[in-house]
Structure 1
Amino acid sequence: MESVDVIAEAPVARRRRERGGGRDGRRAGQGVGLPHRAAPYIVRNIPTFDVLAEADLEKIEAVADRILAEVGIEFRDDPAALSLWKQAGAQVDGLLVRFPPGMLREILGSAPASFTQHARNPANNIEIGGRSVVFAPAYGSPFVTDLDKGRRYGTIEDFRNFIKLAQSSPWLHHSGGTICEPVDVPVNKRHLDMVYSHLKYSDRCFMGSVTAESRAEESIEMARIVFGRDFVDRNCVILGNVNVNSPLVWDGTMTHALRAYARANQAAVVVPFILGGAMGPVTSAGAIAQALAETMAGCALAQLERKGAPVIFGNFLSSMSLRSGSPTFGTPEPAIGSMVVGQLARRLNLPLRCAGNFSNSKLPDAQAMNEGTMSMLSAVHCGANFILHSAGFLDGLLSMSYEKFVMDADLCGALHSYLAGVVVDDNSLALDAFREVGVGKHFLGCAHTMENYQTAFWDSSVADNEPFEKWDIAGRTDAASRANLRWKQMLAEYQAPPMDEAIDEALVDFVDRTKAGMSDAWY
């Protein structure tokens, strides 16, 4: 497997080598302020959970095929996409495209079942697909919230804070994308500041912009500055999260961005957002069939743009309150639906992004953690490889919460141990410990305990496990209050991972020149 260090031919990389730094310098910044260094991603050691039999899966696939063939999907404002579909053998009638049964599955045969996303620090490279599980922060909130200042519009400072928190967490693997919208930066320029912030303040994998084709291309160009043009053409270094305009519409903004990522051999994460009863049927099976049709079309379009380009089969099922019409998150029906989506993605042999830590609560409270845990468990049991929205999601994704970010990252830590399963070997069976301790005595001081106590159990950084009296004397703090103290401590202790001076200068120059070429736009 290639590492980022093969890009020595790039001019910026040559200057990096001349000035020192490089891999050794980057590695020197690992783990600062962390209790210990977790793996760059999880390799699951427990099986996925299949809820439907073969016959039922075939019924859903057959309905998806009929939706594609009889109803079709509109592709708006992208003549090139329509041309690609026509060349591939689809029936194109204006903006409406209908697909012969089996066509999309055949096209998807060229998509890789798994791939590596390379990080600025090669030690943080991740695998997406197979048995791998990657946790990434929540994405897309216009507001941020904390216990001190309440709910407010996000800023570039908030955006950078969340990157620093993700970088500092031993339980998250990915820097994410638009963690919150920095509304204090013009709409047409903020993607430049966001991508630069990911590259500057984290050395983990990250996501780029998808809000316009030019912004996607500029995100990719910034990645080329860091990794080298030839390396990027051969390897995935950046993801773009594109959404279907459900029901059954792909708009040009998304397909132009999707094709830009595929054209550059970078991974598009293809995600329908189906709110049951609004953008799809209220019944789970119907919504799943719709999601399958929409996602297959997007993933296949990436293959038509560049055969073999990495792509992630995404899904976002949600429910709604039929009394009020409000969206609901972390509810049981989408959670069990995610299990079925996982089965369908495996039948297509594609990497999966599904579910996350969803909640409609407005506070980091019991509702938030109940809903988030139900949704997050569905993500790990359905076989999701890339779990966006793993930390911080609050208020139906309208708010990014500092406290919930820390609480959710703590849950991710627990899931590291959960997904590791049960090790069965001579050490874990502990027969020598039974011989030493004997009958009716405790194991606290035995040799086996002393040899294993540091790694035996996951240890929360937020939970209070002290006796009632100690908790009472210490101020009776709840989990949210402890998380408030924790995120402040993490930011105070954060140290930026080293970045080569020449690369930093090249990035800043690119951002400044690109911004100078356009007037500010605020909508």
Structure 2
Amino acid sequence: MTDLSDTQLSSASAERSGGRRGRSARRERRQSGGSELIAPYLTRKIPVLEYLDDEGCEKIEAQTDRVLSEIGLEFRDDPEVLDIWRSAGAEVDGERVRFPKGMLQELVKTAPATFTQHARNPARNVEIGGNNTIFAPVYGPPFVNDLDKGRRYGTIEDFQNFVKLAYVSPWLHHSGGTVCEPVDLPVNKRHFDMVYSHMKYSDKPFMGSVTAPERAEDSVAMARILFSKEFVDQNCVMIQLINANSPLVFDGTMLGALKVYAKANQACIVSPFILAGAMSPVTVAGTLAQVLAEGLAGCALTQLIRPGAPVVFGAFVSSISMQSGAPTFGSPEGTLLLNGAAKLARRLGLPFRSGGSFTASKLPDAQSAQESAHTITATLQAGVNFCLHAAGWLEGGLCSSYEKFILDADQLGMMHVLAKGIDLSDEAMAMDALQEVGPGGHFLGAAHTQRNFESAFYRSSTADNNSFEQWQADGRLDAAARANAIWKKQLQDYVTPELDPGIDEALKAFMAERKASFPDSNV
């Protein structure tokens, strides 16, 4: 890993000797693969912003206890899970499970407050929890979008492209999971190619498949080939998204995947997926009580399966338009929900997942910029530990956008600077510059400026700060058009990280054998 300031300083002589070409060359390096320029994860040096005080948390926690004991949750199509809850002392009535007060809070105490997710390149390992934030790309869209081909179903080529773009970005720490849905592959077999793409085309951490228990088993088996069986048993090498089927339901598919990963000591993000007003009450407090009930139940279940297994308390919560029923993003209510859930997670001593670069816009336009900037800033300020959907989200999560991926990644770079807080070192206080310049002067030629100009301010890779005349001469490009050129250049310059040939062949052999063992299916 190369320190950011060292890299920037080393390019200063190129700028001074190369003039305009030096600036251009450095910009190209930033845009086309400078993933070595940044730490493998972000450590926040700014305090968290809390909208919910301790007294408010206690009221929400008390209501959560009532929800858990009086209403309970349903765990559908999984008798084994019902037996687990029964043995743990919960009240089981059919598929409905009710919990004594404090039971789930006690169970999650065995979960680690922080843990390491290992990457195949150890320099890319991430620490999840504490003051750390991990940015991971968009997850789950069936469609992709770019300025050249428009909106269309995703393919495995698109999937691999987004993995590569996440790999070369200096601002994304994680390869993610279903960066788009490759609908050109059979539903029951595409998980092989998806997991392999993360292993092959990136050396950052990645996510496993959760769409069926057997697909989770395949993901674990592939991880054991990549890392070794012994290493996987003792270390987290995958993290995966387990959604509650809100309100107050876990279905058999998610429960099956959760059991596979928890038994294998791999991290689960237990995350209710809620559109407030439709899948939860219309109020922030009522929704937070439901989020806490659902998240606690799933997190506690992982600890009953394997005490000490890593788990992340998650919350994906947005509101809906009460006029149309359509999801809305970038709303003040969404920020309050995210922020409140973050504090509730901290009170449990669990890492927290939420946030992203959300928008309901259909294009990478002003609406998408406003909504995404609002939510990603709120994500950082709330102290989110694992941020899914940090780049590429469009159309309420139905689309993975190439151009928005680039624009969002640039915003993530700004979050890295914001997270550092205010530097109060002697160099940052700049007394020598003030003494040198004095009243009425300027700082452009000061020695302090010359020492620090390379790293003084964040330099956007997508914004155009030139004069109108220069912008016009450069083709009058808007932000989306500039992003279009950037992602194409990044894919053109992409170099696959080295993977041991023996491991690569073993992965391919495993996939070929498994695929041949059952017929293609679209379910």
Q: Normalising by the residue count of structure 1, what TM-score does the alignment of the two structures yield?
A: 0.93
- For the pair 1:196 / 2:196, whether they are aligned, the reply is yes
Is 1:352 aligned to residue 335 of structure 2? no
Is the 2:32–2:489 Cα contact (8 Å) retained in structure 1?
A: no
1:426 alignment counterpart: 426
**Could you say what secondary structure the match of 2:37 adopts?**
coil
Deviation, structure 1 residue 376:
1.1
CA distance in 1, matches of 2:506, 2:58: 52
- Contact persistence 1:332–1:374 (CA under 8 A): no
Q: Distance in 2 between matches of 1:35 and 1:349?
A: 31
Is 1:315 the equivalent of 2:315?
Answer: yes
What is the CA-CA distance between 1:330 and the residue it aligns to?
2.0
Give the 3-state SS of the residue equivalent to 2:454 in structure 1.
helix
| CA distance in structure 1 between the aligned counterparts of 2:397 and 2:33, rounded to whole angstroms | 29
d(CA) in 1 for partners of 2:433, 2:355: 42
Q: CA deviation at 1:32?
A: 7.7
1:161 aligns with 2:158: no
Partner of 2:8: none
CA distance in 2, matches of 1:480, 1:248: 40
- Matched position secondary structure for 1:196: helix
| Structure 1 residues 328 and 364: CA distance shift in structure 2, 3 A | same
Q: Is the 8 A contact 2:33 2:494 kept in 1?
A: yes
1:502 — aligned with what?
502
Question: Residue 236 of structure 1 aligns with which residue?
Answer: 236
SS where residue 304 of structure 1 aligns? helix
2:318–2:327 Cα contact (<8 Å) kept: yes
Rounded to whole Å, the distance in 2 between the matches of 1:53 and 1:177 is 34
The alpha carbon displacement at 1:35 in A equals 7.9
Percent identity reads 58
The Cα shift of 1:36 comes to 5.8
Q: Does 1:85 align with 2:85?
A: yes
- Separation in 1, partners of 2:243, 2:61: 21
**Deviation per CA, 1:187-209, whole angstroms, max 9, x where unpaired?**
01000000000000000000010
Shift, 1:237, TM fit: 0.3
Residue number in structure 1 paired with 2:392:
392
Counterpart residue number, 2:94: 94
Q: For 1:253-332, what aligned pairs fall within 5 Å after superposition?
A: 253-332=253-332
Q: Partners of 1:197 and 1:203 in 2: how far apart?
A: 10
Amino acid at match of 1:89: G
Say if 2:359 and 2:367, in contact at 8 Å, map to a contact too: yes
Paired amino acid for 1:455 = S
C-alpha distance in 2, partners of 1:32/1:232? 33
Determine the C-alpha separation between the residues in 2 that align with 1:369 and 1:336. 20
Give how far 1:349 is off.
0.5
Alignment RMSD (CA, Å)? 1.2
One-letter amino acid of the structure 2 residue matched with residue 86 of structure 1: R
User: In 1, Cα distance between the equivalents of 2:35 and 2:183?
Assistant: 34
Q: Which SS does the other structure have where 1:216 is aligned?
A: helix
Q: Are residue 452 (structure 1) and residue 472 (structure 2) matched? A: no
Structure 2 CA distance for aligned equivalents of residues 374 and 488 of structure 1: 27
Q: Which amino acid aligns with 1:447?
A: A
- Distance apart, 1:68 and its partner CA: 0.4
Please report how far the alpha carbon of residue 33 of structure 1 lies from its aligned counterpart in structure 2 after TM superposition: 3.5
Counterparts of 2:444 and 2:337, CA distance in 1: 44
Secondary structure of the structure 1 residue equivalent to 2:453: helix
Counterpart Cα distance in 2 of 1:328 and 1:417: 28
Counterparts in 2 of 1:209 and 1:36: CA distance versus 1, 3 Å: closer
Q: What residue ranges of structure 2 are gaps of 5+ in the alignment? A: 1-30
CA change 1:178–1:361 in 2 (3 A) is same
Contact in 1 for aligned 2:35/2:169 (Cα 8 Å):
no
Does the 8 Å contact 1:352/1:384 carry over to 2?
A: yes
Who is 2:11 aligned against?
Answer: none
- Structure 1 segments unaligned to the other structure (5+ residues): 1-30
Question: Partner residue of 1:14?
Answer: none
SS at match of 1:455: coil
- Correspondences of 1:393-412 after superposition (within 5 Å): 393-412=393-412
Aligned amino acid, residue 136 of structure 1: A
- Length-normalised TM-score, structure 2: 0.93
Say whether the 8 Å CA contact 2:33–2:169 is kept in structure 1: no
**Runs of at least 4 residues of structure 1 off by over 3 A?**
none
- Alpha-carbon distance in 2 for matches of 1:251, 1:82: 12
Q: Which residue identity lines up with residue 432 of structure 2 in the other structure?
A: D
Q: Which amino acid aligns with 1:132?
A: N
* Partner Cα distance (1:74, 1:95) in 2: 5
Partner residue of 1:126?
A: 126
Q: Displacement of 1:450 after TM fit? A: 1.2
Structure 1 residues 335, 119: CA separation in 2 closer, same or farther (over 3 Å shift)? same
